[in-house]
Amino acid sequence: MSPTAIPNLAPDGYRLRLPGPTFVPERVLQASAQMVVNHRGPEFRGALAKAEAGLQPILGTKNRILFYAASGSGMMEAAIVNVAGPGDELLIVTHGQFGERFATIAQAVGAKADVVATQWGDDIDLAAVEAHLKQKDYRAMVVVHNESSTGIVADLAKLGALVRDRRTLLVVDSVSGLGGIEMKQDEWGVDILVSASQKALMCPPGLGLASISPKAWEVINGGGRLPSFYWDFRRAQASAEKGETPFTPAVSLVGGLLAALDMIHTEGLHQVLARHKKLANALRAGGAAIGLSDFGAGQRKSSTVVVFDVPAPLDGATIVRELYQRHRTVIAGARNRLSGKVIRIGTMGSIDADTIYTDLAHLEDVLPDLGHKLNPGAGVAAARAYLS
Ligand SMILES: *Cc1c(COP(=O)(O)O)cnc(C)c1O
């Protein structure tokens, strides 16, 4: 009997160009496909220690790194439930869809959340945040570092300064920032930082991580009963001290992460961050040359995701569909109030200039047939000029 062929997940020529999950390099795929080992044995203990040491400079922290089998949203929930339960006051600073997710999580755990909502695409209004902080003694201020829905980056240095001399903690989601945008957790005063494997860290999805400051530990250890078992950071920390995780971790993904971290540190973290910025700006330059303007009025543009306004009378979903059908290029639209109005392209992880040129070439091919006039070749040429 012949074995049944395993169906491929990806068709030939498939280009995963989402703002996460992102393209996983062959080295990382192979490292993720190794024999599974005992998660409490010496081999895995060594792997966790290496993963922690490789991640700490990327986070800019000396804190322990806690690992979970989880998606990014799981880590967002973990961050909230460890500092707030029913009735606790939180200040949620939103500037897009993922910030709103934080507000939804806060509601789900019964916390009392005040929301400072920034118009999507704008920079966060720091004065409005400060005014709120002066009014109440919040348990934590919660913010998304890199808003993947709008392409705007929060100024964590300034936000951190606002709570440095208060009891209020700073809780940050850097799921789509970490590894692609500078993070200085300790210097900026980020108390709880959560992230996940499948964005700029260029790993398969499923590995979540958290890093907790001494200031946050005072709150977490402060006697409040956590409305959670799996997410209890105290348990994870106690295991981490023994080189373990409290529950079965995503063993294979830690194998992949070690390869990804090796790639990042071989290139050099500084160079990796500079490459992200350069390529994102090259894509913006190329987009501008074919009539795709950058979404939003904010100045703090992301290096890991580019969000373009969809030119009238086109529909974002149609562009996404055509790019896939003609070129197997998979980009994102929006699944929120911007639905149809923007398209989003990941500029994080394992990408280079050719990746951006190909994105632009495919856009140049598709857009005219949808009714958008452009000068063929102008996008690629502008990106090339920007990079040279
Ligand atoms: C992708 C992402 C998440 C997590 O999403 P999951 O699908 O749960 O992994 C959270 N926050 C931001 C800003 C993201 O970009």
pTM of the model: 0.97
Bond prior to 21 in cis (omega within 30° of 0): yes
Q: How far is the CA of 98 from the centre of ligand 1 (A)?
A: 7
Q: Average pLDDT over the chain, rounded to whole?
A: 97
- For ligand 1, atom 12, the nearest C-alpha belongs to 175
Cα of 72 vs centre of ligand 1, distance in Å, is 5
pLDDT digit string, tens, across residues 24-73: 999 999 999 999 999 999 999 999 999 999 999 999 999 999 999 999 99
Ligand 1 atom with minimal separation from the 205 CA: 9
Residue of 176, 183, 344 to mutate, ligand 1, most atoms within 8 A of C-beta: 176
Q: What residue ranges define each of the domains in the chain, with the CATH number in brackets? A: 26-264 (3.40.640.10), 269-387 (3.90.1150.10)
Round to whole Å and give the CA distance between 296 and 29: 36
In the reported structure, the alpha carbon of residue 223 is separated from the centroid of ligand 1 by a whole-number distance in angstroms of 30
**Residues near ligand 1 with C-beta < 6 Å?**
20, 71-73, 76, 98, 144, 146, 148, 173, 175-176, 196
pLDDT 10s digits, 118-138: 999 999 999 999 999 999 999
pLDDT at residue 6 in the model: 86
Asked whether the beta carbons of 343 and 332 are under 8 A apart, the reply is yes
How many CA atoms, within 13 angstroms, populate the side-chain half-sphere of residue 39?
16
